[in-house]
């Protein structure tokens, strides 16, 4: 079946309808996305689900379109209904949706040789949008600083990252870029945050762009030879040596008490 004639029980259409519901309600956090973007999010989903492709065929084009809509769901989950978006933020969100529009057009026009290339790019952008918000821990009751935990709290910075990956994918990959580069950067964010040393928004976007340009690099940080703590981003002129640190959260061994054991008798020993 093609476009609007596709059956509602078609697995692709059914899954995309589910993504749209999740995008509207942000079920990952049990709070709704920003009201200001709901119309443009819905419009994107309706366009995708009415695409003139053979949904019964189950080809790569169908999968690519579905994966793009899932990424749009993740994008919506970067917003919250309890903060009104400014006109400037809505404008930026429209720019981000334009990136997904470009991916959608590319999916419709792709051939069999181009499909894997496109699939990898869609997966990378989807993971960037997803992991950007996955460390957030706000709720309806506690959301004073609800953007805490986002990698890029400024939507324009998020657009800059998506735009570069989308428009420079082939060139970036030729210089060693892949999804693993973003995962390493996510590890940098988590490691710095765990130590209370999170970079500022300006520092994060500057560092990520420098990584894409090959002007900065990752170095591993170990507690000791066999215990990787995370990664740091450093300038290229920094030596290649591994950084060791003794600043560990748990400097003593610890265990649960046995049944019937008094709390005072639970021993701790130095490592």
Q: What is the pLDDT of residues 125-144, one digit of tens each?
A: 999 999 999 888 777 677 77
Residues 121, 184: one domain?
A: no
> 267 in a domain, yes or no?
no
Would you state the pLDDT for residue 253?
42
d(CA 102, CA 100): 5
Least confident of 26-30, 83-87, 91-95, 152-156: 26-30
Asked whether residue 82 is assigned to any structural domain, the reply reads: yes
Looking at the domain assignment, is residue 213 inside a domain? yes
Least-confidence region, from 69-83, 123-137, 138-152: 138-152
Judge if 10 and 123 occupy the same domain. yes
Give residue 267's pLDDT band: very low, low, confident or very high (50, 70, 90). very low
Dig out the tokens for 44 from the structure. Answer: 């994107």
Output the pLDDT for position 52: 92
**pTM listed for this prediction:** 0.84
Mean pLDDT along residues 236-246: 72
Q: Are residues 6 and 117 in the same domain?
A: yes
Task: Let me know if residue 7 belongs to a domain.
Answer: yes
200 and 126, same domain (yes or no) = no
Q: Are residues 20 and 115 in the same domain?
A: yes
Let me know whether 22 and 125 are in one domain: yes
- Other C-beta atoms within 10 Å of 238: how many? 13
The DSSP bridge partners found for residue 252 are 270
Question: What pLDDT is attached to residue 246?
Answer: 62
Query: pLDDT tens digits for 19-41?
Result: 999 888 766 556 788 999 999 99
The answer to whether residues 65 and 114 belong to one domain is: yes
In terms of residue numbers, what domain contains 122?
A: 1-134
Q: Is the pLDDT of residue 163 over 60?
A: yes
* Residue 97 and residue 185 in one domain: no
Q: How many domains, the chain?
A: 2
Residue 215 lies in a domain: yes
Summarize the confidence of residues 107-111 as an average pLDDT.
Answer: 88
pLDDT at 269: 44
Number of other residues whose CB lies within 10 A of the CB of residue 191: 17
Measure CA of the first residue to CA of the last residue in the chain; give whole Å: 65
* 197 plus 88 within the same structural domain: no
Q: 254 or 189, which is more confident? A: 189
More confident position, 100 or 116 = 100
The answer to whether residues 110 and 181 belong to one domain is no
DSSP string, 204-259: HHHHHHHHHTTSEEEEEEEEETTEEEEEEEEETTS-SPPEE----S--B---PPPT
The answer to whether residue 200 is domain-embedded is yes
**Is 256's pLDDT higher than 70?**
no
Tell me which range, 7-11, 101-105, 266-270, is most confidently predicted by mean pLDDT: 101-105
Please give the pLDDT value at position 128: 98
Same domain, 112 and 9: yes
Q: Is the confidence at residue 271, as pLDDT, over 70? A: no
* Same-domain check for residues 35 and 93: yes
- Tell me whether residue 132 is exposed, middle or buried, using C-beta atoms within 10 angstroms of its C-beta: 0 to 12, 13 to 18, 19 or more: buried
Which band of pLDDT confidence, cut at 50, 70 and 90, is reported for residue 236?
confident
Q: Does position 60 have pLDDT exceeding 70, yes or no? A: yes
Is 219 inside any structural domain? yes
Is 63 contained in some domain?
A: yes
Q: How far apart are CA 116 and CA 183, in angstroms?
A: 20
């Amino acid at each position: 079946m093609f476009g609007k004639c596709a059956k509602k029980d078609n697995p692709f259409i059914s899954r995309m309808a589910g993504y749209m519901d999740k995008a509207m309600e942000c079920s990952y956090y049990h709070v709704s996305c920003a009201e200001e973007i709901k119309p443009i999010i819905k419009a994107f989903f309706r366009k995708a689900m009415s695409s003139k492709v053979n949904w019964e065929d189950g080809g790569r084009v169908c999968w690519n379109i579905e994966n793009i809509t899932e990424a749009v769901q993740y994008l919506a989950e970067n917003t919250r209904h309890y903060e009104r978006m400014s006109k400037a933020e809505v404008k930026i969100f429209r720019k981000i949706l334009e990136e997904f529009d470009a991916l959608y057009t590319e999916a419709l026009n792709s051939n069999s040789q181009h499909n894997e290339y496109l699939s990898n790019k869609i997966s990378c952008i989807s993971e960037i949008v997803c992991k950007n918000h996955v460390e957030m821990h706000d709720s309806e009751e506690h959301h004073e600083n609800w953007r805490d935990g986002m990698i890029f709290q400024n939507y324009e910075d998020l657009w800059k990252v998506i735009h570069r990956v989308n428009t420079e994918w082939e060139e970036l990959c030729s210089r060693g870029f892949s999804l693993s580069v973003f995962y390493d950067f996510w590890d940098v964010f988590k490691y710095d945050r765990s130590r209370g040393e999170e970079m500022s928004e300006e520092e994060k976007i500057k560092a990520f762009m420098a990584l894409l340009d090959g002007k900065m690099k990752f170095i591993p940080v170990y507690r000791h030879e066999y215990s990787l703590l995370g990664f740091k981003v450093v300038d290229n002129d920094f030596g290649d040596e591994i950084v060791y640190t003794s600043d560990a959260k748990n400097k003593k061994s610890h265990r649960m008490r046995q049944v019937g054991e008094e709390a005072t008798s639970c021993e701790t020993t130095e490592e």
